[in-house]
Structure 1
Amino acid sequence: MAAVPLQEWERGDKTNVEIIGYGWRVLEYFHAEEKRVMVRLHLPADRDKDRIQLAVMLMLRDIKHSRKWLCEFCGAPARETHTFNFFYRVLDSDLPRLVVYCHFVCDMDKRHVREGLTATHHLMNTRFDGTLGPMPPFASFGKRPSGKVYPLAGSCAGCQHEDTAVDEGVLKRCARCKMTRVCGAACQRADWGRHKVACGMIYSVTFENWG
């Protein structure tokens, strides 16, 4: 792991995590603007990389249901996410720092998605001097159960019903974390037991190129 100093938002007594999500690039006035989100978290101090990554994976539901995301590689409605994780060592601390690159995609089984993720992995590996290692085989990610349809990104984080993703105005954003959205008070109460864990650790949420 490379050693880096603490940034302004980071805490020396916490495990600092930054999640950067990427959606479809929208062409406006001949300039492509990629829709992104940056989520910064303060997790409890932990040195176990596997536990840190598990905690982050459990939070991806909140990020997935933050906006009406479109597939980064084709613009179709996104239903899945794929992540690349990169650990840093923080100077003067034995606590690692994690940066997660999260890609919103329509279907991991689609050829264009796999080709896009493979190309992205290659570019990132070049940037980080090969630290990520070779791209894992897609078979290692597990096969989607037959007939299984994942919820639409941008639908209610509680009930995850398809019709809640149709109109952006239907959903209400969590007043505390400013990220996760639900379709009403009933879903907010029902989902709070799950969401409150992530909600309490979120430091900031920044959406880019959403107008």
Structure 2
Amino acid sequence: MKTVLCYGDSLTWGTDAETGGRHAFEDRWPSVLAAALGPSVNVVAEGLGGRTTAYDDGLGDCDRNGARLLPTILHTHGPLDLVIIMLGTNDMKPMIHGTAIGARQGIKKLISLIRFHDWTRECEPPEILIVSPPSLCETANPLTGALYRGSIEESAMLASLYRDLADEMGCGFFDAGSVAKTTPIDGIHLDADNTRAIGRGLEPIVRMMLGL
């Protein structure tokens, strides 16, 4: 059986901006991907609201630094055949970093952590698929609008920066913004249709990378 780790933030966890809760299990993109791939692939969903690529968030009641947590998660779920990384949205907050190039550097750090992790002897480092999250959009929500003030243009740069990084580092790449759009309810999250679209959109490239 192949094992795929989906490492992300609230877009992977499945935050529903309309209700403030969580999308149904079957609507979350890792679940859609798992259903499409079938029982021969174990898809592990590791989503955490507020997770950054590699930066601290002092306001969280848990550790949101993706680089600090990743080695433990790799060891927990290994051996792995593929790691899908979809992070960067929370990096766009000015209080975190606020720039697309900062998110790009954070993703590069995560790639290094995967490649040089202390895998057990029988484990080869997994393939890596970098996914750029959909760009932020305009919203009338006063809280998220303030948290991400001035970040829409920066978020729109993630896809090109991540694509170039994937080419440089020999990783796969998928632009989630090519199939999904954020909701203006909060400018950040996805409705059920759009999170399902990411799962469907990822299926072909994941099959290719796993040799299925």
Q: Is the structural similarity TM-score above 0.5?
A: no
**Normalization by structure 1: what TM-score?**
0.30
Of Structure 1 and Structure 2, the greater strand share is in 1
**Normalization by structure 2: what TM-score?**
0.30
| Bigger Rg, structure 1 or 2 | 1
